Copies of this chain bind each other. A is one copy, B any other.
Amino acid sequence: MTKEILYQKFGYILDDSLINEIINVGVFKSFSKDDIIIDINQPMLYIPLLLKGHIKILREDNEGNELLIYFLEAGETCTMSLTCCMGTSKSKIRAVAEQDSDLIMIPVQKMKEWFHGNESWRNFILESYQIRFDEMLDAIDSIAFLKMDERLLKYLVNKSILNESDTILVKHQEIAEDLHTSRVVISRLLKQLENEKKIKLGRNKIEVITS
């Protein structure tokens, strides 16, 4: 039940009255794997709280090529959507369900009210910003400082932690899009990582060797 999940994922920081209000004003939504939850330039009318699943946050260049910035997990929100209260209300990123995911969508107006009226919500917002900032810095570090093979391994390890499994179900093409490179480059580097005994390759499947 939604209320229980809300308490479980957000109860550590949001107070009881607020959680009750979230249930009253929030709109429950489910998305299937690969659904686009919000797209670039779409108006942001709701702030999403993620109850279940994982969401990819992506950026796009002029030619339509993507780049994964970070993942959202259950118990988190997209700070991009928070900034919409000020200034532009258009999304600068694309959010895609990495797995089947459940969200509660909160109208922007409520977010503003709570921001000025509820301390626990303010703390949640601050904490969210901090987490996102750290993720953005980490994304910058990876792109700027790591070579593609290192980025690839980090991506795989991260994904395996996220899914709580050493085996990742993914195609080379999908990895290439997330890392903003070509499928051939990924296949080449994956084979190299396999030779270095860091992973094991299968069709639609990669096993990360943790040892």
A-side residues, CB < 8 A to B, are: 59, 61-62, 65, 67, 69, 79-80, 82-83, 85-87, 92-93, 115-116, 119, 122-123, 126-127, 129-130, 132-134, 136-137, 139-141, 143-145, 180
Tell me if A145 and B80 are in contact (CB < 8 A).
Answer: no
- In Å, the complex CA distance between A86 and B132 comes to 13
A87 to B133, CA, bound (A): 12
Q: Which of B67, B122, B133, B145 contacts A140 (CB 8 A)?
A: B67
User: How far, in Å, is A109 (CB) from chain B's closest CB?
Assistant: 15
> B123 near A86 (CB under 8 angstroms)?
yes
The interface residues of chain B lying within 8 Å CB-to-CB of A130 are 83, 86-87
A83 to chain B: closest residue by CB: B130
Query: Judging by beta carbons under 8 Å apart, are A85 and B145 in contact?
Result: no
Chain B minimum-CB-distance residue to A115: B122
B86–A141 CB distance below 8 A: no
Copies in the complex: 2
| B83 A129 Cβ-Cβ under 8 A | yes
Residue from the list B92, B122, B129, B141 in contact with A116, Cβ < 8 A: B122
Partner of A65, one of B59, B65, B80, B145: B145
| Contact in complex: B86, A133 (CB < 8 Å) | no
Closest to A65 in B: B145
Contacts of A86 in B (CB 8 A): 123, 126-127, 130
Q: List the B side residues contacting A119 at CB < 8 Å.
A: 116
- 20 of the cross-chain contacts (CB-CB < 8 Å) are A59-B137, A59-B140, A59-B144, A61-B144, A65-B145, A69-B140, A79-B129, A82-B129, A83-B126, A83-B129, A83-B130, A83-B133, A86-B127, A132-B133, A133-B136, A136-B136, A136-B140, A139-B140, A140-B143, A143-B144
